[in-house]
Amino acid sequence: MILPIANALLDYLSWAASRKLVRHAIESDSRAIAVGHLLADTGLALAFLFGLALFLPMAIQGMNRGFVWVGWPAVEWDGFLEAAAAAPFSQGLMVNGMLLTTLIPTALHFLVGLTILTIRPMPGQRLMAKWVEGHRGKRLMVETWCLAAFVVSCGIFLAGCYLLWQAVALSGATVGGYLYEMALWSARLVGGPGLPPG
């Protein structure tokens, strides 16, 4: 029960931070501030991701100590940890999914920012702004234009994620491997029964 609560709490904090940063970036007309907010949002999202990767193993080991104290069997969670590192998008999807939900608000923030940056250089921005309030056919043209910008932004975002993934893989490491080591380290801080070997 503590695991989904901890996950939901960090997800909530991630959403709240992203919303506050987006609101502030919208109110400011400076591109530098918008980029700064996007970088701050990314940093916070990664901090929440790593915080969750550190906290969940500590919480499990804390529960295991309590279980053994009342005479219940300890939770053996090394299989989940191994699956998360070895097969992140199949057997380890449940664990990795919990961790990656903290990145969703930042991903949406990136997509909105990229869409705006894609629309800005397009010709006829002022005309588009007038058409939004105008005839239904003109409004449909603006919506199609914005949808095309969003699709381009999604492509740029996914290409960036893929290149980042490949860069990490070329270094001989994996994101799952980093998280695996962090989880083991934090679990050892608490110790007790059910501690994964390694």
Whole-number average pLDDT of the chain: 80
* pLDDT tens readout for residues 126-184: 666 666 666 677 777 777 888 888 898 889 889 988 888 788 778 776 777 788 888 88
Domain ranges of the chain: 2-190
- Alpha-carbon distances of 41 from 12, 103, 119, 144, 175, rounded to whole Å: 14, 10, 22, 29, 20
What's this model's pTM, rounded to 2 decimal places?
0.72
Q: Is 185 within 8 Å of 50 (Cβ atoms)?
A: no
- Secondary structure, 3-state, 79-98: HHHHHHHHCCCCCCHHHHHH
CA 113 to chain CA centroid, nearest Å: 16
